[in-house]
Structure 1
Amino acid sequence: MTTNYLQIMIDSLKKKKDILDKIIVLNETQNKILSNTEFDHDVFENNMHEKGECIDELEKLDEGFQSVFDRIKEELSDNKQMYSDEIETMKTLIKAVTELGAKIEVQEARNKVKVEAMFRRERQEHKEAKRSASMAKSYYQNMSRVSDEPQFMDTKQ
């Protein structure tokens, strides 16, 4: 019975590794999106949505892994030699998952800096557009107050 649980845990770690690989690809795509001169909100939004789904799936896998581990923790501790191959496989997978997690953290930090820069740029552009609109409105209001008579009159005859 414990062997089945160990196989479930190994499968869970493999799935987690695959999902982390997918997140790495999504982060690379996000980096390209943020590096483009023209920012495409829809593509960025879709990328974020996909990453969110991956993260939700990771959380479910983690909960399931922990639940199974809690069931067999004592059995594993008491019979380490009996399950040494499975334990070694899990250690290898956990190491790989941890390395992928560290790589994702670096990617996320890099992308966060780019997102913040992009938001600053967009805020500045919005502020400039607002100021231009305000100046144009002020100009037209001032011009509408001016009478239709010519402003300069030549008094020479």
Structure 2
Amino acid sequence: MDNTGVYISALQESLQKKLEVLNSLLKLTNEQRKILSEQDPNMDRFSSIIDEKDKLLETMEILDRGFESLFAKIGTTIKDNKYQYQQQITEMQNLIRSITDTGLQIEGQEHRNKTAFQNYLTGARREIREYSTNHQMANAYYQNMANQHQSWQSYFVDQKK
């Protein structure tokens, strides 16, 4: 294969782009952590970050498919000539290590964010439940006060002592 060097460069470039995408995902995941740690989280921003992360994940899926198809073409050539491409193979291995490390960081932060988000939802549900209970109690009080006076009762109070 004459183009093996070009294909290997394309593989390296694909791995570098994947690392860049993962670093962007890590940055957005950390931003979500900051939002969830605020007293009054901006859930609109939180939601927009989710949309941004979806786009990045789609990009990463495209990169993965491209890498796999390209590696399927030249994988055996690289394995058969591993000494000839030793430097490129080493660089790709280093990129894969960095990708794996970044992926693990994202996974850990996502787990912590999930816990923080569940805590936020629990608090929000509690506030809604308390508001509903208070609203029902206030309605019952006002109905009770409105029903205190019966039509047969007199409005006049006896002033004699």
TM-score (norm 2): 0.89
For 1:116 and 1:139, how far apart are their aligned partners in 2?
34
Instruction: State the match for 1:129 in structure 2.
Output: 131
Describe the shift of the 1:151–1:8 C-alpha distance in structure 2 as closer, same or farther (beyond 3 A): farther
Question: 1:145 offset after TM fit, Å?
Answer: 2.3
Structure 2 CA distance for aligned equivalents of residues 125 and 150 of structure 1: 43
Following the alignment from structure 2 to structure 1, what is the Cα–Cα distance between the partners of residues 154 and 28?
A: 64
Question: 1:27 & 1:131 partners in 2: Cα distance?
Answer: 36
Alignment of 1:79-98 (within 5 A): 79-98=81-100
Q: Where does structure 1 lack aligned partners over 5 or more consecutive residues?
A: none
Aligned to 1:139: 141
Structure 2 matches for 1:1-157, cutoff 5 A? 1-147=3-149, 153-154=157-158, 156-157=160-161
Over the residues paired in the alignment, what is the CA RMSD in angstroms?
1.9
The ranges of structure 1 where at least 4 consecutive aligned residues each deviate by more than 4 angstroms after the TM superposition are 148-156
Gaps of 5+ in 2: none
* Matched residue SS, 2:141: helix
Deviation at 1:146, TM superposition (A): 2.8
| Structure-2 separation of matches of 1:10 and 1:48 | 28
- Matches of 1:29 and 1:77, distance apart in 2: 41
Displacement of 1:156 after TM fit?
4.2
What number of residue pairs does the alignment pair up? 157
TM-score, normalised by the number of residues in structure 1: 0.91
Distance 1:8 1:142, change over 3 A: same
